Chains A and B, each alone.
With several copies, the nearest count.
Chain A
Amino acid sequence: MVDLSVNFCGMQMDNPVVPASGTFGFGKEFKDFYDINILGSFSFKGTTKDARFGNPTPRIAECKNGMINAVGLQNPGVESVIKNELPELKKFFHKKVIANVSGFSVEDYAYTCALLDKEEQVGILEVNVSCPNVHGGGMSFSTDPACAAEVTRAVKAVTTKPVIIKLSPNVTDIVVIAKACEEAGADGICLINTLLGMRIDTKRRTPVIANKMGGFSGDAVFPVAVRMVYQVSKACNIPVMGCGGVSSAADVIEMMMAGATAVQVGAANLVNPFACKEIIEALPAECERLGIERISDIIGVVD
């Protein structure tokens, strides 16, 4: 029997498979397809201080082996998440959930995290810093080590739960950003968020997406994600949650060998609602094929 369990930032998980934020809603849509308690955990939809409608539609474009989304953080706001979504979730999900938090100022992040800190269902706060900083000329918090560190410190100050910072891959040097977060007290790093991409509707001669550009993810981005997981896990001493283009048990193992302690699955859930279930079911055989007895043994095994 292969042991699939991992411990991520003190959170004991039955397996390393975690649906990624924005691709799993608050779990509701998936519980009709399968019992989502089989998951390691899941990261819920990016939550902000205030409710947001997000960007105009079309928000989705197809790519070869991937997709672009420009949802723009549509969510009901943290108060509603706590009042409506979490109690609803409790009915069918009995594990700790990962709370994905977004914001447009350092205060936003701190406000939202302080509220979620009180929720016993929340196991980890996952802070998505790939958002434009309205006080920083719209530049994303994730592109500047000082900004990312500032968010990290502000969040750490308001919670006792583990805080992981979710980084954008659209940067020159991912290691510098990750290290700045580590030094600012982050308990872990999650990466990657989406690559900035664009598709054009050549019949209409317009961008496919109303917002013009959007976040590119899915199978296609896997090699970039593996590379960044590798770089960051070698450079930092805090655990890494790998994410980006994962759609099979083999991908999960590759990402873990690169340095990930747990692995998120994003776009694959949208195309195949059973993606995570199938991955979890396939993991034991895949581990056996590769001579892996405890999956935690392979974390960062590649030099």
Chain B
Amino acid sequence: MSIQGIYTIKSNCALTADVFKMVLEGDTSAITASGQFINIQLEGRFLRRPISVCDYDETTITIIYKVVGEGTEQMSALKAGERLDCLVGLGNGYDISKSEKPLVIGGGVGIPPLYNLTKRLIANGQKPIVILGFNTKSEIFYFDEFKALGCEIRVTTVDGSFGTKGFVTDAMDSDYDYFYTCGPMPMFRAIESVAKTSGQFSFEERMGCGFGACMGCSCKTKDGYKRICKDGPVLVREEIVW
């Protein structure tokens, strides 16, 4: 069950040229799964901005966001101590009961929700291999943080400036029994075409509400329509209509 609350910014700093990490303090009791998101109200913007939970504990939520437009630009200028109205605990999140040795595959700003997911998989005794795809070395973020979780991390860069040259799919040749992914649509299509197992994809869609009321974010699945914000953002491979 999602909640609305006022969260205090503890920190907000750049990880790369246009990717920022913000830590929010407040009630996190509504977060029940990795891959859920929060919906942030920004002064002077009509709609809220949906951002995945990258990590959380009893009192803080960490988010990582890329500046792509006016709202995220505005977020990047917020200072510690400022307060934000957020809806928290939105979406279904990843179901981690399905795997033993999964691949966790992230591309660009699809990576953040996979951090808490990986942490949780490890805590649960599963053995994830994490593949992180970036365009180039200077855009890499959270590599050390993932490393510190103690599982295998593979990085791909399109230009080969770090790790394997190529796409995340160029690093998928291992034994795995499942996969969890978040990232851009072209990456999803590539994974869909090579993946050997079942898995879960986390989708993005423009949202009116983020909590299931407006039908703004619907998508067709093999099991009928689903709302990305409420029945998603995570969909299982088998139900997705590409």
Is there contact, CB below 8 Å, between A60 and B218? no
Residue of B nearest to A219 (CB): B46
The interface stretch among A66-74, A101-109, A172-180 is A66-74
Residue of B nearest to A45 (CB): B215
Give a binary string over A51-72; 1 marks a CB under 8 Å from any B CB, 0 the rest: 0011001111111111101010
In the complex, what residues of B have CB within 8 A of residue A45's CB? 215
Flag whether B212 is at the interface (Cβ < 8 A): yes
Is there contact, CB below 8 Å, between B211 and A273? yes
Q: In whole angstroms, what is the CA distance A74 to B213 when docked?
A: 12
Flag whether B238 is at the interface (Cβ < 8 A): no
In the complex, what residues of A have CB within 8 A of residue B218's CB? 53-54, 57, 59, 71, 74
Give a binary string over A65-95; 1 marks a CB under 8 Å from any B CB, 0 the rest: 1110101001000000000000000000000
Is there contact, CB below 8 Å, between B209 and A270? yes
Give a binary string over B218-242; 1 marks a CB under 8 Å from any A CB, 0 the rest: 1110000100001000000000000
Is there contact, CB below 8 Å, between B206 and A61? yes
Flag whether B2 is at the interface (Cβ < 8 A): yes
Flag whether B217 is at the interface (Cβ < 8 A): yes
In the complex, what residues of B have CB within 8 A of residue A57's CB? 205-206, 216-219
A61, A74, A218, A267: which contacts B215 (Cβ < 8 A)?
A74
Q: In whole angstroms, what is the CA distance A65 to B1 when docked?
A: 28
Flag whether B21 is at the interface (Cβ < 8 A): no
Q: How far is the CB of A93 from chain B (nearest CB, A)?
A: 15
Is there contact, CB below 8 Å, between A62 and B216? no
Flag whether B80 is at the interface (Cβ < 8 A): no
Q: In whole angstroms, what is the CA distance A60 to B209 when docked?
A: 10
A188-236 residues at the B interface, CB under 8 angstroms: 208, 218-219
Interface size class of chain B, counting residues whose CB lies under 8 Å from the partner chain: 20 to 34
Is there contact, CB below 8 Å, between A29 and B211? yes
B35-61 residues at the A interface, CB under 8 angstroms: 41, 45-48
Is chain B's binding surface mostly helix, strand, loop or mixed?
Answer: loop
Interface size class of chain A, counting residues whose CB lies under 8 Å from the partner chain: 35 or more
A22, A23, A71, A218: which contacts B46 (Cβ < 8 A)?
A218
Residue of B nearest to A27 (CB): B213
B197-213 residues at the A interface, CB under 8 angstroms: 205-209, 211-213
Is there contact, CB below 8 Å, between B87 and A64? no
Give a binary string over B131-168; 1 marks a CB under 8 Å from any A CB, 0 the rest: 00000000000000000000000000000000000000
B46, B48, B87, B230: which contacts A63 (Cβ < 8 A)?
B46
A239-286 residues at the B interface, CB under 8 angstroms: 267, 269-274
Is there contact, CB below 8 Å, between A60 and B208? yes
Flag whether B4 is at the interface (Cβ < 8 A): yes
Is there contact, CB below 8 Å, between A69 and B2? no
Q: Contacts A23-B209, A74-B225, A270-B208 known; list 4 others, CB within 8 Å.
A: A25-B212, A30-B213, A62-B47, A271-B48
The contact sample of 24 A-B pairs, CB cut-off 8 A, is A22-B214, A23-B209, A29-B230, A32-B1, A57-B216, A58-B205, A59-B208, A59-B216, A60-B207, A60-B208, A60-B216, A60-B217, A62-B45, A63-B46, A71-B214, A74-B218, A208-B206, A267-B208, A270-B47, A270-B214, A271-B46, A271-B47, A271-B209, A272-B41
Q: Which 6 A-B residue pairs are closest in the complex by CB-CB distance?
A: A270-B209, A60-B216, A58-B206, A60-B206, A29-B212, A74-B215
